[in-house]
Amino acid sequence: MKPNERQPPRDPRTHQPLPPCEQPGYYPGFSTLSQQSFWDAATRELVRKRVHDIPPLRFFTPNESKMMEAICAHFLPQDDRDDAHQIPILPFIDERLHQKRTPGYRFEDMPPDGEAYRLGLEAIEQMARANHDRSFLELSWREQDELLKSIHDGKPWPGAEEIWKRMPIYRYCGLVIGDCVEVYYAHPWAWDEIGFGGPAYPRAYFRLERGEPEPWEVEERRYEWLAPNESVSDPSEPEIATHKEHPPAGQGGTH
């Protein structure tokens, strides 16, 4: 295995690597797309495009794209999915930035989203070279994880101080993670994973009491795994609540 290759999650009983599968999660065998005949035509077309119409990369440069692929894989790993069922995150982030789509507002201490992404990638590259004398893509998976965790924790490695003066680190982290999560959970394969039945229009849901599943849903099964050995995503020490890196009350959020 290459130094920066992703490590698989582990079986909690045997601690051995778990093989990737077609459908991870608590609802094996459930398929949201199997219900698409009950959706209206516009909804069906929109959801199907997320599977069959992957947008080309037009915003990020080739090197930026490679960095973003790695960053997305750290922030939202898909190592338990087989290659045929990896949910494409980067292409939809790239499409949003290329089209300059926003939620309709921007924090006053943040640059436009496209500029924020490029500044963040520049900062990550500077931090990698300042601390390891190598580019981010040349770091081991563990080193990449540690660098990104320093950003997540609001305690960045040295090397990019000027950039973090221009852009609050917690807002940048929230921007990227927020986009990753939004893209992932807009995909019907992610709906399968969490047992979401998809659009309720026009059929609607009718078992609204006692938590009973709808006829087209499946029973929940326990799904457990441990983080890879090389990961630093599982906390190894208690977190101490601090407020100095976080926005004032009422000003949280991403973008």
* 224-250 confidence digits (pLDDT tens): 888 887 788 655 554 444 333 444 433
pLDDT attached to residue 128: 98
pLDDT at 199: 87
74-92 residue pLDDT tens: 999 999 999 999 999 999 9
Give the tens place of pLDDT for each residue, 170-210: 999 999 999 999 999 999 999 999 998 888 888 888 887 77
Q: At residue 5, does pLDDT exceed 80?
A: no
Summarize pLDDT for 89-128 with one digit per residue, the tens.
Answer: 999 999 999 999 998 989 999 999 999 999 999 999 999 9
pTM here is: 0.87
Tell me the longest C-alpha to C-alpha distance in the chain. 60
What pLDDT is recorded for position 234? 58
